[in-house]
A and B are shown apart, each in its own frame.
Chain A
Amino acid sequence: MSALEPGPARRDGAPRANGARPAESRRAVIRIDLQLIADMISPGARVLDVGCGDGALLDYLAHFKGVDGRGIELSQAGVNACVRQGLSVIQGDADTDLRDYPSDAFDYVVLSQTLQATVNPRAVLEELARIGRRAIVSFPNFGYWRVRLQVLFRGRMPRTRALAHDWYDTPNIHLCTITDFVDLARRMGVTIERALTLDRTGTRVHERQGWLANLLGEQAVFLLSRARQNTGRS
């Protein structure tokens, strides 16, 4: 379900031979944005990863943070790859299947690089806030300066690393900027506990908000919670 081009860490979905995988072969290194998400999650938590792809994040969380993880993935191939690794994943759609889950079922619900591919992002975010005590959402920032320049000077729909599709075959139907997202969170009464941005290469991470974040961040990762007054860190 991830709308990003699969990075190296997400390609590890090949069928495995019968036999438990030795611990040393586990993915200790995952894509940087997934690592940022993993760092926000407290050990032993209950986590639902919506759009879990081939399960790279869930696999990491299960084996390095002792997390009780579940996943939903749109593509059947992704689901099968996850279950083959022993992860608890079902085939499902963020737009329609989150309503099956009870409220407060998870400590964290993760929506990684998927929000912009949903039909109704606001409804999905509301479901995340209902199901999880906290939600972690990452998405490509349409306010990134390279995106802006491509539209301004080339007069064409932007193509970047984070937005790697042509306009006619992109799964990304609801792109937004960091400022747009912050605005929606405010309208929904959702508290932003942390906001991180990644630059183009994903090597530099900034914890900042405002116009500069919206200009320089190619991707954004938000930690959200329902309660307005919540100041606690996980």
Chain B
Amino acid sequence: MTVSSGTAARGPAPASPFQSDLLPGHRLDIPADQPLALDCGASLAPFRIAYQTYGTLNAERSNAILICHALTGDQYVAEPHPITGKPGWWDMMVGPGKVLDPGRYFLICVNVLGGCMGTTGPRDVDPATGKPYGLSFPVITVADMVRAQVRVIDHLGIDQLFCVIGGSMGGMQVLQWAAAFPQRVFSAVPIATAARHSAQNIAFHEVGRQAIVADPDWCNGDYLSAGRTPHRGLAVARMAAHITYLSEMSLHRKFGRNLQNRPNLSFGFDADFQVESYLRHQGSTFVERFDANSYLYITRAMDYFDLAAEHGGVLADAFRGTASRFCVVSFTSDWLFPTAESRALVQALNAVAANVSFVEIPTDRGHDSFLLEEPEFWAVLSGFLNGCAEHRGLTWR
């Protein structure tokens, strides 16, 4: 196993703009003789895992927090994004004096398997063929993502993570960690998530996927070889998904029926309304930084997630005997992962008398609230982590 950092050289370099050798952060190259056994039956090797860290691992190796990113997130949690230059997706949460303080914790974030920011995914070159995987990349699951993360945690010499935390798909990974590796998880914070993807959520994902595959530039998934990019399909997928991350109230407050740079309706199909212009912008900026096939694979992984199904249909059995401390968080206006999903999770944890806290944060900003300024949410997380630190015997200065 070799680890490289910065601009270390590697075999066949993937095409731009996602040159994994040029991206900041750490890389772990898994050699061909250490394949990852995937849920679909295939095994993957060699492959690369890209991750980023903040802070310092203490001598006892007891202060590590694994941050799990959501569908379109990446490992650049608290630094400018290498492609867009925008602040890290959890910049408000991670930093000196913030809830996740690198002065206290060793923070790790791994780009998920199937992603497009350095970890091997469908846009990377299949060493067996010398061509990009495209749709020949195996279908991966949330459990596969977690197994890949385990390789990184093993590599870092960490037996037990102080905390595994994440929102949305990140929360699914948190639950998978807690269920599959309970001894390695001292505390778990699943935020705005669910133990299974609902029919409605699968439906929204299917709309996004169909938008991508309907784009002629998708070329049956082989667009890289064809030198094309399904920008339009991916942008539409993002626009549809973005609506689900907000709430009616937040859209209304932000845009109402306001017109975009015009005094009157155009009586055409231009972006008359500010909300249309906003969504188009969201779509067009997203395609700069995300790969269409990655979007297909990762949404599929979320659709397949059903923790209870893996345990004979009884969610509680996923957590039987767990000693991890849980803090489940939901947001009142989140209709994508509504509080009822978190409540079902809490019910299952109670059924095995697990150590669980459950907080619903009042906000009208929808699913994306976990990425936004929500002081009550931050205060709750700080309190929970401080309590855990006390039980774990973590001290600072």
Which residues of chain A have a CB within 8 Å of any CB of chain B?
Answer: 15-16, 18-21, 68, 70, 76, 79-80, 82-92, 97, 100-102, 105-106
10 more A-B contacts (CB under 8 A) besides A83-B384, A87-B387?
A16-B379, A16-B383, A70-B355, A85-B387, A86-B387, A89-B358, A90-B356, A90-B358, A91-B358, A92-B358
B353–A83 CB distance below 8 A:
no
B351–A101 CB distance below 8 A:
yes
Residues of B within 8 A of A102 (CB): 351-353
User: Is the CB of B376 closer than 8 A to any CB of chain A?
Assistant: yes
B383–A84 CB distance below 8 A:
yes
Residues of A within 8 A of B384 (CB): 83, 86
Which residues of chain B have a CB within 8 Å of any CB of chain A?
Answer: 97-99, 101, 325, 327-328, 346-347, 350-353, 355-362, 376, 379-380, 382-384, 386-390
For the A-B complex, the count of residue pairs with Cβ-Cβ distances under 8 Å equals: 81
A91–B360 CB distance below 8 A:
yes
Interchain nearest-CB distance for B179 vs A (Å): 18
Cβ-closest chain A residue relative to B328: A90
A21–B386 CB distance below 8 A:
yes
A20–B357 CB distance below 8 A:
no
How far is B376's CA from A83's CA once the two chains are assembled, in angstroms? 11
Residues of B within 8 A of A76 (CB): 359-360, 362
Q: Contact check: which of A18, A20, A80, A106 meets B353 at CB < 8 Å?
A: A106
Q: Contact check: which of A19, A68, A83 meets B357 at CB < 8 Å?
A: A83
Among B98, B99, B380, the one with the most A-chain Cβ atoms within 10 Å of its Cβ is B380
How far is B327's CA from A15's CA once the two chains are assembled, in angstroms? 17
How far is B347's CA from A102's CA once the two chains are assembled, in angstroms? 11
A79–B358 CB distance below 8 A:
yes
Interchain nearest-CB distance for B93 vs A (Å): 12
Please judge, given known A-B contacts A15-B379, A80-B376, A105-B353, whether A86 and B358 are in contact too, CB under 8 Å. no
B351–A83 CB distance below 8 A:
no
Residues of A within 8 A of B327 (CB): 83
How far is B376's CA from A15's CA once the two chains are assembled, in angstroms? 9
Interchain nearest-CB distance for A93 vs B (Å): 11
Among B347, B359, B360, B388, the one with the most A-chain Cβ atoms within 10 Å of its Cβ is B359
Identify 15 residue pairs between A and B in the complex whose beta-carbon atoms are under 8 Å apart, listed by A's number: A68-B355, A80-B359, A80-B380, A83-B384, A84-B380, A84-B382, A84-B383, A87-B387, A88-B325, A88-B355, A88-B357, A90-B350, A90-B358, A91-B359, A101-B350
Interchain nearest-CB distance for B396 vs A (Å): 9
Cβ-closest chain A residue relative to B375: A15
Please judge, given known A-B contacts A19-B386, A76-B362, whether A84 and B379 are in contact too, CB under 8 Å. yes
Q: Contact check: which of B99, B356, B358, B376 meets A18 at CB < 8 Å?
A: B99
Cβ-closest chain B residue relative to A85: B383
How far is B379's CA from A192's CA once the two chains are assembled, in angstroms? 41
Interchain nearest-CB distance for A90 vs B (Å): 4
